[in-house]
């Protein structure tokens, strides 16, 4: 009987599917990611792994676990995995594209509205008992109707966000294409949303220079990976008012410690990486992870 280890508790649909197909499935009992040593130990006696982006599937791990047929990531992003080494060693790598497109685009859309309309500072005012009167000049934000949305990473999620923004707010949507002049692309955007995978090429794709090219009223949304933005440059720009606000579902590092200065800014909304966190998406991710494993064994 082939054994599968799941590094975190997940919605059970995929686990049931695997068991129905005759796999033995072991699920980590910890409510937090395993340490690298624990993961190494667990991997020894199994044939396949379902992991999350918190598990580092690095060269050392792969070289010590060449018996694994497949490691499938409970995420679309695979930046936690040394893909090159896995390919060299013949270990298949899976992920969960498509099924989380809607959920992640929804979070980007939500962050765009929340950042444009000052949800964070407005909520803080209410929660701190500072809501005394109707404020004719308080919490003024920017309307989205007819504004320009630029998307870096115009793939599945970026395009779906574009459809939502165009459908709801008639926003003019532009996708950045490799080779386009970045400053030209950024200079008159009202909202920038980033959806590229994290690779050496996309690390800090938005940095000091790019932020400086944007309008003072611009909003930046990031639901991709923290490192696609130079977070220090973003912090400075938000603090100085060089851009209006930001909505982040991802940070560097994750989790972002509560003492991090970004939390002190009223114009940034930070979510704890919940892009795919709908029942629908996570159920589908569970099933797709199982299917990745089933197919990996079928193909051989
Ligand atoms: C992904 O799938 O890469 C997401 O960031 C995880 O929700």
pLDDT digits (tens, 9 = 90+) for 26-75: 999 999 999 999 999 999 999 999 999 999 999 999 999 999 999 999 99
Average pLDDT for 93-111 = 98
Our CA dihedral for 51, 52, 55, 59, rounded to 10 degrees, sits at 60
Measure the CA–CA gap between 78 and 255, rounded to whole angstroms: 18
Residue 24 known to be catalytic: no
Average pLDDT for 253-274 = 98
18: left (phi over 0), alpha (psi -120 to 50) or beta: alpha
All residues at 6 or more sequence positions from 238 whose CB lies less than 8 Å from its CB, including other chains: 245, 246, 262, 265, 267, 268
Residue having the nearest C-alpha atom to atom 1 of ligand 1: 75
Measure the CA–CA gap between 9 and 212, rounded to whole angstroms: 43
Residue having the nearest C-alpha atom to atom 4 of ligand 1: 75
Cα–ligand 1 centroid distance for 198 (angstroms): 11
Our CA dihedral for 63, 68, 74, 77, rounded to 10 degrees, sits at 40
Q: Which atom of ligand 1 is nearest to the CA of 249?
A: 5
Catalytic residue of the set 24, 63, 254, 280: 254
Catalytic residue of the set 225, 236, 280, 291: 225
Q: How many residues does the chain have?
A: 300
Measure the CA–CA gap between 57 and 82, rounded to whole angstroms: 6
Burial label for 241, CB within 10 Å (0-12, 13-18, 19+), is: exposed
3-state secondary structure of 48: strand
Residue having the nearest C-alpha atom to atom 2 of ligand 1: 75
Tokens at residue 60, please?
Answer: 């050392």
Average pLDDT for 226-233 = 98
Tokens at residue 205, please?
Answer: 């794709």
3-state secondary structure of 88: helix
pLDDT tens digit string along 134-184? 999 999 999 999 999 999 999 999 999 999 999 999 999 999 999 999 999
Q: Residue 59: how many CB atoms within 10 A of its CB?
A: 14
Name the pTM for this structure: 0.96
Residue 139 known to be catalytic: no
Question: Is the pLDDT at 282 greater than 70, yes or no?
Answer: yes
Average pLDDT for 201-215 = 98
CB 52 within 8 A of CB 73: yes
Measure the CA–CA gap between 113 and 254, rounded to whole angstroms: 23
156's enclosing H/E stretch is helix 156-169
Cα–ligand 1 centroid distance for 75 (angstroms): 4
Residue 254 known to be catalytic: yes
| Cβ < 6 A, ligand 1 pocket | 75-77, 100, 275-276
Question: Is the pLDDT at 300 greater than 70, yes or no?
Answer: no
Average pLDDT for 96-117 = 98
Set out the domains of the chain in order of their start, with CATH numbers. Answer: 3-97+279-299 (3.40.50.720), 101-270 (3.40.50.720)
Average pLDDT for 106-133 = 98
Question: Quick one: pLDDT at residue 299?
Answer: 74
């Amino acid at each position: 009987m082939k054994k599968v280890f799941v590094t975190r508790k997940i919605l059970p649909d995929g686990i049931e599917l695997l068991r129905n197909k005759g796999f033995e499935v072991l699920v980590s009992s910890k409510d937090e990611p395993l340490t690298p040593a624990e993961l190494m130990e667990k991997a020894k006696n199994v044939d396949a792994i379902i992991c999350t982006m918190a598990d580092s599937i690095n060269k050392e791990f792969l070289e010590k676990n060449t018996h694994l047929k497949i490691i499938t990531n409970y995420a679309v992003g695979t930046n936690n995995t040394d893909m090159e080494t896995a390919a060299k060693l013949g270990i298949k790598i899976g992920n969960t594209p498509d099924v989380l497109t809607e959920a992640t685009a929804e979070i980007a859309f939500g962050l765009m509205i929340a950042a444009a309309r000052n949800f964070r500072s407005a909520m803080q005012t209410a929660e701190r008992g500072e809501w005394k009167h109707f404020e004719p000049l308080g919490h003024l934000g920017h309307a989205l109707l007819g504004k320009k949305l630029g998307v870096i990473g115009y793939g599945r999620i970026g395009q779906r966000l574009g459809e939502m923004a165009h459908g709801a707010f008639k926003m003019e949507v532009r996708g950045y294409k490799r080779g386009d002049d970045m400053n030209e692309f950024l200079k008159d955007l009202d909202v920038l949303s980033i959806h590229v995978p994290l690779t050496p090429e996309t690390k800090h794709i938005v940095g000091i220079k790019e932020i400086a090219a944007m309008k003072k009223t611009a909003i930046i949304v990031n639901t991709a990976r923290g490192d696609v933005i130079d977070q220090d440059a973003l912090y400075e720009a938000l603090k100085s008012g060089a851009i209006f606000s930001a909505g982040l579902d991802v940070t560097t590092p994750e989790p972002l410690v509560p003492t991090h200065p970004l939390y002190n800014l009223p114009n940034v909304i930070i979510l704890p990486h919940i892009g795919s966190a709908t029942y629908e998406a996570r159920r589908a991710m569970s099933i797709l992870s199982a299917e990745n494993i089933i197919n990996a064994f079928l193909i051989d």
